Amino acid sequence: LLFGKKVGQEEKFPRVMVATPPTEAQYVTLHRSGNAISGTLLLAGVFLIAFVVYYFINWKYLAETWGMS
């Protein structure tokens, strides 16, 4: 990608890689299977929960260390 030789226009991959759209029956099957959470949303949720847990653990640790209350 960064250090390879340049490829000419005629040497590039000639076929366009496009996925075929699902048929009507596949849409019905996908709809019946329930609501699927996308991977991006799931990953963002995991990181949000991890951040919140980490924040409160550090807050409790700091409260014990400083001993102001």
Residue partners of 30: CB distance under 8 A and separation at least 6: 22
Residue partners of 69: CB distance under 8 A and separation at least 6: 63
More confident residue, 49 or 3: 49
Tens digit of each residue's pLDDT (9 = 90 or more) over 35-62: 667 888 889 999 999 999 999 999 999 8
CA distance 11 to 7: 6
Tens digit of each residue's pLDDT (9 = 90 or more) over 12-22: 666 677 888 87
CA distance 66 to 69: 9
CA distance 28 to 22: 10
- Can you read off the two tokens belonging to residue 40? 């991006």
